[in-house]
Structure 1
Amino acid sequence: MSEPRVLRYQQVKDLVLTLIADRGLVPGDRLPSASELVTTSGVSQISVRRALDELEQEGRITRHQGVGTFVAQPRIVSDPARTGDLLATLGEGERTVTVDTELLGLNVGIPGAAVARTLRLRPGQPVWEVIRRRLTEGRPVILERAVLPLHLVPALDEELLAAGGSLYGYLRDAYGLVDSVEEQCLEVTMPSADQRARLSLPARELVVTVRGVSFHDDGTPFDCFTQVYPARQFAFYVSGSHGRRLLAATEGDDWSVRPLAGQ
């Protein structure tokens, strides 16, 4: 039986990955250009371009027009199922990640219909809206938003939130709220203009949006949260069981909070 034929673009992918391994290249090191790979591999420009496209989509390389092709940073591993301990999940695995936090917004407002329904609020009941951005090595990597009922959470510690402290740790200690159950919906989408700007994303870059609801042990929902991740920079570990399925994939556009007058 004859050996299976390796596609030409796959030969180029294997060549680049072998080059990285054999030379001990690290993130940021320059790789051969497309024209150099054509010469080295003996395949067409089209095959080389496809190989580089796939390697970039897989997060193995990065390309900068007019500059060159480089070894990419390894993807950050996150466990979005552990919303209350997000920073700890980013530090797991082979790669140690140092995370900084920026508090972008801390406001009281009126939630949109989907959030109000999910949090079991009467029309007009106010909520907290907490928006934070996580950075690694000065690069924004996660945009977080939490919506909390004001009647369950009368006050928040702005200094703690700005310093990157655990919101769920504060809710547990101050109000006895514990995220005993969570339900989440993960979607790969094009970011909004605001998300693109806040995460410094290039054009056409996709994001993974995690929308979820956290429930106290008595079944009371106390947080509608959203986390937005650049899709190429993360790998996700998720485990769980069958749940309530409160989240429809089309509800994201209505997860809004209208600021109160005077803010």
Structure 2
Amino acid sequence: MTMEIGLNLFSVFKELNEDYFGTLEKVAEMGYKNLELITVNFSTCERYTDTFSLPVIMKKFEDLGLKAFSAHEGVAPGSVIIDADWDRIIEENAELGCQSIVFPMAFISGREDTLQTAEHLNLIGKKCKEAGLSFYYHNHAHEFRRIGETSLFDLLAENTDPSLVKFELDLVWVMRGGYDPLTLLEKLGERCDMVHQKDLGMHVNPVNLFTATPQGTNLDTMKIYTEFVKPNDFVNLGTGIVNFQETYQKLRQLGYIRYAIVENEGQLGIKFTSIESDLKVMEKYVQGL
């Protein structure tokens, strides 16, 4: 299977907020072809389909030669996952041509809420499957919080139906959760065929966030990201600690990764310059250019 490069549009969410179509034009000019959508304007909290009609968005994708292969669809912290309008979400993304919907973050912290989340993910996954779409869960670091001999991530994997719920691993967040991402990829097998790629600065100690913070495993989920993850932790691809040669040699050996997706969360410099540089790094290691 050929691995393709994608761009998660969270990388340029501020730019999308200000100029949706202009941002898409710049992304296409750089050479990106495959997009993982974000569907909400984070400034207004409105869906882009409330601002622009689906046919207008689809026409823009077509004119620019862009393929929307996936979309991130989440809920606000504290909201019940299953209460989102999943019928509308699925219908819109299917019309846009997306093959997959990804749930980007569940604010789980213990066994009971993780098991409830798994139940809800199964329900959404069933809806997606009935509509011909695949459904994924996307990790951050907090899912690797340990409860006894297991982790929240393990609970999610064990209590979701593999035929309904797949995983989109963010390789750097796995590492920050104290796990080896390549080992986890092997464990999940074809249940993970999309990965997110970012890079971590040389100045960041790449240890388990839970053992590196004063409150350890009792740390509030949101505080992990507001207090112990810094805006400059993330850097342009190829300038940090990630071993791209080893990573992509392994991904090619596995043979089932369909998309390696750039997600640039760095906040230094001009974002368009950053993601253009990221694309060149990914072409080198993914495509061997």
- So what's the TM-score if we normalise by structure 1? 0.27
Q: Structure 1 or 2: larger helix share?
A: 2
Bigger Rg over Cα: 1
Q: Structure 1 or 2: larger strand share?
A: 1
- So what's the TM-score if we normalise by structure 2? 0.26
